[in-house]
């Protein structure tokens, strides 16, 4: 019969309307009608969506204990591999042009990432041999100035390892284990300088 | 001076040229249709594309590594990032002869079929939106899509721009709890499809608007090398999952749904049936998923860690998959350097769009909008 299809469809919309209310869901439970949905949206600025642990948005630089103890050694691998080329790194050098070392490592003088170019692909994290760069979950990075607000400098990118452990416990634990193993290996090869270091 | 047509005795009318787009709510992106109208009827239609050209192929040839291409493939068809990643992975594996890990294969199939659910659900919603049913079906579709996107975020860290599949497997293993959540979603999906069909399939208005509108004959579909649900709606049994049997698809039992005459209604209904088949594949894949191993794709992860050291041997390879929209192919030529020498994408949206004029001729303007919606294009993939 003409019109039954339309009426059936209206039944579906009516059910969806009913199940957005608590009394409606109670009623449907009473009638033993499955209602898996209900309210599925959140009112954004007041309530924030819960993200899963791997949620990634924008990179940050990890330091251990104090902000001058950066893991980054300014090797520029991420700068080369970044697909949209949004990372800019210059190594810290003294007046004679020799690299300055702190905590036995070279360090970046300038480390800029352009927020408006970054496409959150996580390739910089994958290629970093020192686990110095990781992805942050902070996504409210809007600003007004194209270069004043959108280009993040080194001091704005710094985050402690504790912060990393807090936002991504599983991934941070893996990274910490890997770094501890590396440090143990380095200590072992330093103790026996005559033997060649394992590659 | 346009040729004159007569509609009533003594009354001269002219053909009228109308631009639909490039910025138009129903053109699914930035796309222009130059329609020549006789009253309400379309006499000529010229699609104009290229507004979204991003030069992806040339960027890849100019200096990206093979891994560096992956984030760009996410942005080809933003509904189907996982399948775009998979297509490029399969081409690179052919080029360099990389074996895929067993668990990696299963994870890829799960992701690819979830992507098919996302795409077909969303496109059905958009088709109804174009038809004038503002909001309701589209939002029901997006409610379900959101649940799948949450799963993608759980596994890859991003809802739409996943960048997850890699040559040899996937970038990282599934997180704890993923399989359970995915199983719950797959178990609940048929109920949503039943509800969606109750809302749409038997609706008389939809049948009136779509049946015998935009008929694509089987012969024309084959001649124009149309692929995907659009070809199958015309009654041609051609699914690359069956024809090539790539990845581990031969292990799963599933049917290829076919349409009869190839009108807009068939194209809608074939997509609904395909989703039901995808659910069957997902059920089997989730049941057979091998246990977690310490390294999911040692080779793929190694390539991801140091993209510059990955130099495939000289030669070329064409990898193709059945993406939700049709045959998605990647043609790669390697000269032995870390960058592809030639990189070409066979985009299903672009090739399916070529028959737009044949489908629209003789129909009304409002039908042309529906026909465009039923072709299922994403302009980012058309223009690349």
Which class for A99: exposed (0-12), middle (13-18), buried (19 or more C-beta within 10 A)? middle
B292, pLDDT greater than 70:
no
Contact between B324 and B119 under an 8 Å Cβ cutoff? The reply is yes
Residue A57 tokens, joined: 């948005």
Answer whether B143 sits within 8 Å of A120, measured CB to CB: no
Q: Any idea what DSSP says for residue B364?
A: B
Secondary element (H or E) of residue B356: helix B356-360
For CA atoms B144, B148, B151, B157, give the dihedral sign. negative
**Contact criterion met (CB below 8 Å) for A57 and A139:** yes
What average pLDDT does the structure give for chain B?
86
Asked if B154 and A52 come within 8 Å (Cβ–Cβ), the reply is yes
Residue of A nearest to B71 (CA): A121
Mean pLDDT of B200-223: 88
- What region, left, alpha or beta, does residue B262 occupy, with left being phi > 0 and alpha being psi -120 to 50 degrees? left
Q: Do A54 and B155 touch (CB under 8 A)?
A: yes
pLDDT, residue B5, reads 54
Beta carbons of B305 and A126 less than 8 Å apart: yes
**How far B302 CA lies from chain A's nearest CA (Å)?**
10
pLDDT at B269: 92
What confidence score (pLDDT) does residue B366 get? 87
Check: CB of residue B104 under 8 Å from CB of residue B296. yes
Q: Is A90 helix (H, G, I), strand (E, B) or coil?
A: strand
Helix axes B178-200, B264-288, angle to 10 degrees: 160
Dist. CA B318–CA B333, nearest whole Å:
9
For testing the chain B interface, which of A49, A57, A87, A121 should be mutated: the one with the most B CBs within 10 Å? Answer: A121
pLDDT digits (tens, 9 = 90+) for B84-131: 999 999 999 888 888 888 888 888 999 999 999 999 999 998 888 888
Q: Is the pLDDT of residue B198 over 90?
A: no
Any CB–CB contact under 8 A between B180 and chain A?
Answer: no
Here the tokens at position B213 are: 């509108």
Rounded mean pLDDT, B51-79: 87
Spatial neighbors of B293 by CB under 8 A, at least 6 apart, are B101, B103
- Model pLDDT, residue B1: 46
Who contacts B337 (Cβ-Cβ below 8 Å, separation ≥6)?
B311
Question: What's the pLDDT at B270?
Answer: 93
Closest by CA position to A82, among listed A141, A43, A124, A48: A124
Contact status of B158 with chain A (Cβ, < 8 Å): yes
Report the SS3 class of residue B181.
helix
Burial class (CB in 10 A: 0-12, 13-18, 19+), A114: middle
CB-based contacts of B53, cutoff 8 Å, min separation 6:
B383, B384
Question: Which residue in A11, A34, A37 is closest to B143 by CB distance?
Answer: A37
Q: List the single residue in A3, A51, A119 with the smallest CB-CB distance to B161.
A: A119
Edge-to-edge, what's the strand order for the sheet holding B32-38? B16-20, B32-38, B41-48
A175 pLDDT more than 50 = yes
> Integer distance in angstroms from the first to the last C-alpha of chain A?
78
> Which tokens sit at B6?
């007569």
The distance from CA B376 to its chain's CA centroid, rounded to whole angstroms, is: 7
Chain A within 8 Å of B187 (Cβ-Cβ)?
no
pLDDT at A129: 86
Whose CA is closest to B183, among B105, B272, B275, B284? B284
Q: How many CB atoms lie within 10 A of CB A51?
A: 17
Give residue for tokens 């081409």: B91
Distance of alpha carbon B31 from alpha carbon B28, whole angstroms:
7
d(CA A173, CA A179): 10
Q: What number is the ipTM of this complex?
A: 0.83
- How far, in Å, CA of B138 to CA of A94, rounded? 61
Establish if B156 touches chain A: CB-CB under 8 angstroms.
Answer: yes
- Chain B residue numbers with beta carbons less than 8 Å from the beta carbon of A53 are 175
Contacts of A135 in chain B (CB under 8 A): 157
Residues of A near B (CB-CB distance < 8 A)?
A: 2-6, 8-9, 11-13, 16, 34, 36-37, 40, 51-56, 80-81, 83, 119-123, 126-127, 129, 135, 170
Interface test with B, best of A4, A8, A40, A83 (most B CBs within 10 A): A83
Residue A102 sits at the vertex; the CA angle it makes with A99 and A105, to the nearest 5 degrees, is 70
Q: Cα(B209)–Cα(B364) distance, rounded to whole angstroms?
A: 11
Looking at A150-164, B135-149, B302-316, which range is the least confident one? B302-316
- Cα A65 from Cα A62, distance rounded (Å): 10
Question: What is the rounded CA–CA span in Å between residue B323 and residue A10?
Answer: 33
Alpha carbons B220 and B173: distance in angstroms, whole number: 44
Interface touch A81/B204, C-beta < 8 Å: no
Q: What is the DSSP letter of B379?
A: H
Give the residue, B279 or B26, on which the prediction is more confident.
B279
Residue B278 has pLDDT above 90, yes or no: yes
Interchain CB contact of B70 with A (< 8 Å): yes
Three-class DSSP category at A109: strand
Task: Kindly state whether B81 is in contact with chain A, defined as any CB-CB distance less than 8 angstroms.
Answer: no
Is the pLDDT at A88 greater than 80? The verdict is yes
Q: What is the pLDDT of residue B311?
A: 84
Q: For residue B114, what are the contacts with CB-CB under 8 A and spacing of at least 6?
A: B82, B148, B151, B152, B182, B282
How large a percentage of chain B has pLDDT more than 70? 93
Distances, alpha carbon B337 to alpha carbons B61, B95, B189, in Å: 11, 13, 46
Q: Does B202 touch chain A (CB under 8 A)?
A: yes
Give the CA diameter of chain A: 92
A64: tokens are: 């251990």
Q: How would you classify residue B15: left for phi > 0, otherwise alpha for psi between -120 and 50, otherwise beta?
A: beta
User: Which of B128, B144, B157 to mutate: most A Cβ within 10 Å?
Assistant: B157
Contact criterion met (CB < 8 Å) for B175 and A170: yes
Please say whether the dihedral angle defined by the alpha carbons of residues B153, B84, B137 and B282, taken in this order, is positive or negative. Answer: negative
Rounded to the nearest 10°, the torsion over CA A101, A151, B81, B79 is 160
Rg (alpha carbons) of chain A, rounded to whole number: 26
| pTM to 2 decimal places | 0.87
Q: So what's the pLDDT on residue B297? A: 61
Q: Which residue of A has its CA nearest to B158?
A: A55
A121, A152 in Cβ contact below 8 A? no
**Sign of the alpha-carbon dihedral angle for B66, B71, B75, B79:** positive
Query: Which of A191-195, B79-83, B256-260, B363-367 shows the lowest mean pLDDT across its residues?
Result: A191-195
The residues in B 296-355 lying below 8 A from A, measured between CB atoms, are: 304-308
- Binary contact (A36, B70; C-beta < 8 A): no
Total CB pairs under 8 A between chain A and B: 92
Q: Which residue of A has its CA nearest to B147?
A: A40
Contact A82, A124 (CB under 8 A): yes
Distance CA B194, CA B202 (A): 12
Tell me which residue in A40, A53, A135 faces B175 most closely, judged by beta carbons: A53
Would you say residue B7 has pLDDT above 70? Answer: no
Query: How far apart are the C-alpha atoms of B260 and A149, rounded to whole Å?
Result: 57
């Amino acid at each position: 019969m003409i019109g039954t299809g339309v009426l059936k469809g209206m039944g579906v919309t009516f059910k969806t309307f009913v199940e957005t209310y608590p009394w409606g869901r109670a009623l449907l439970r009473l009638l033993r009608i499955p209602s898996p949905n209900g309210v599925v949206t959140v009112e954004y600025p007041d309530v924030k969506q819960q993200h899963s642990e791997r949620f990634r948005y924008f990179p940050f630089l990890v330091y251990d204990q104090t902000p001058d103890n950066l893991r980054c050694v300014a090797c520029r691998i991420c700068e080369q591999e970044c697909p949209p080329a949004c990372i800019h790194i210059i190594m810290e050098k003294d007046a004679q042009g020799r690299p300055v070392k702190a905590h036995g490592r070279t360090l970046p003088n300038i480390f800029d990432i352009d927020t408006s170019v970054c496409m959150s692909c996580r390739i910089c994290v994958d290629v970093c041999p020192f686990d110095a760069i990781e992805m942050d979950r902070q996504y409210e990075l809007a600003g007004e100035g194209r270069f004043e607000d959108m280009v993040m400098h080194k001091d704005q990118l710094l985050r402690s390892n504790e912060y990393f452990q807090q936002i991504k416990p599983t991934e941070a634990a893996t990274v910490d284990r890997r770094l501890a193993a590396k440090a143990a290996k380095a200590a072992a090869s330093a103790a026996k300088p005559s033997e060649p270091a394992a590659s | 001076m346009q040729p004159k047509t007569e509609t009533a005795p003594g009354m001269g009318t002219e053909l009228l040229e109308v631009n639909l787009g490039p910025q138009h709510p129903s053109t699914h992106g930035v796309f222009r249709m130059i329609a020549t109208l006789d009253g309400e009827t379309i006499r000529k239609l010229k699609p104009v594309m290229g507004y979204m050209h991003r030069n992806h192929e040339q960027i890849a040839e100019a200096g990206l590594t093979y891994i560096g291409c992956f984030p760009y493939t996410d942005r080809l068809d933003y509904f189907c990032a996982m399948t775009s990643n998979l297509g490029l992975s399969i081409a690179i594996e052919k080029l360099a002869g990389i074996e895929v890990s067993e668990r990696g294969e299963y994870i890829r199939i799960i992701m690819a079929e979830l992507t098919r659910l996302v795409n077909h659900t969303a496109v059905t919603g958009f088709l109804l939106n174009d038809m004038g049913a503002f909001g309701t079906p589209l939002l029901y579709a997006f409610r379900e899509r959101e649940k799948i996107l949450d799963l993608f975020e759980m596994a890859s860290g991003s809802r739409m721009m996943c960048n997850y599949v890699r040559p040899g497997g996937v970038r990282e293993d599934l997180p704890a709890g993923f399989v359970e959540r995915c199983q719950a979603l797959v178990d609940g999906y048929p109920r949503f499809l039943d509800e969606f069909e109750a809302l749409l399939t038997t609706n008389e208005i939809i049948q009136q608007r779509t049946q015998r509108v935009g008929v694509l004959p089987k012969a024309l579909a084959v001649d124009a090398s149309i692929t995907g649900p659009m070809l199958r709606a015309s009654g041609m049994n051609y699914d690359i999952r069956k024809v090539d049997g790539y990845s581990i698809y031969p292990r799963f039992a599933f049917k290829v749904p076919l349409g009869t005459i190839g009108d807009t209604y068939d194209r809608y209904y074939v997509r609904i049936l395909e989703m039901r088949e995808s659910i069957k594949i997902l059920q089997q894949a989730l049941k057979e998923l091998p246990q977690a191993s310490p390294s999911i794709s040692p080779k793929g992860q190694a390539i991801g860690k140091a993209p510059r050291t990955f130099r495939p041997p000289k030669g070329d390879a064409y990898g193709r998959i059945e993406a939700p929209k049709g045959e998605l192919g990647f043609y790669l030529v390697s000269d032995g350097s870390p960058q592809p020498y030639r990189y070409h994408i066979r985009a299903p949206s672009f090739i399916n769009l070529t028959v737009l004029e044949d489908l629209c001729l003789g129909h009304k303007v409002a039908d042309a909008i529906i026909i465009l919606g039923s072709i299922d294009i994403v302009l980012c993939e058309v223009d690349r």
